[in-house]
Amino acid sequence: HDPKEIISILLDKAFDPRETVIISDNIPIQTTTNMLSNELKVQVKKYRNGYLNAQVHSSGGYLFFSQLQYPGWNASIDGKRTTLLSANLAFYAIKIPSGNHTVEFFYISRAIQTGFYISIVTFVALSIVYVFYFKKAKTTIVRSWMNPD
């Protein structure tokens, strides 16, 4: 979507970010109002750097996260991954079905994840080398010591 169109809506004096969010991710631009009504209750259970766990009661709608969009952020509802939507051009929102739900918002660094997998592959490769090369070499040394000829 055209960022200029979204910016013009955000800069409009009638726009109230406490009551309205603009969802614009791969869908027609939607403006959702009454975000802070009694129909959406959020109770944060755990919050730390890169992780948020909350109980949400909703009659359906969107939950806005004031986290800047950056690769590696993920969200789940009741343990199932959900799509993060672009909200107000630079932030995130998720679509919440009606009812009571556990929502998690978490960061998984792609660099750390890639490094972890590389470490596992390296460990397995070195283990194979150790088993086949060093065990064989040790057996040869022991045999030559027992039979000096």
* 15-64 residue pLDDT tens: 888 778 888 766 555 555 544 444 788 899 999 989 999 999 988 888 88
Note the pTM of the prediction, 2 decimals.
0.66
Q: Which residue has the tokens 């027609």?
A: 28
Is the pLDDT at 93 greater than 50? The verdict is yes
Neighbours of 17 (CB within 10 A): 14
The phi and psi torsions of 26 (rounded to 5 degrees) equal: 55, 20
Predicted local confidence at residue 144, as pLDDT: 56
**Dihedral of the CA atoms 47, 93, 110, 123 (nearest 10)?**
60
In angstroms, the CA 144 to CA 82 distance is 63
Is the pLDDT at 6 greater than 80? The verdict is yes
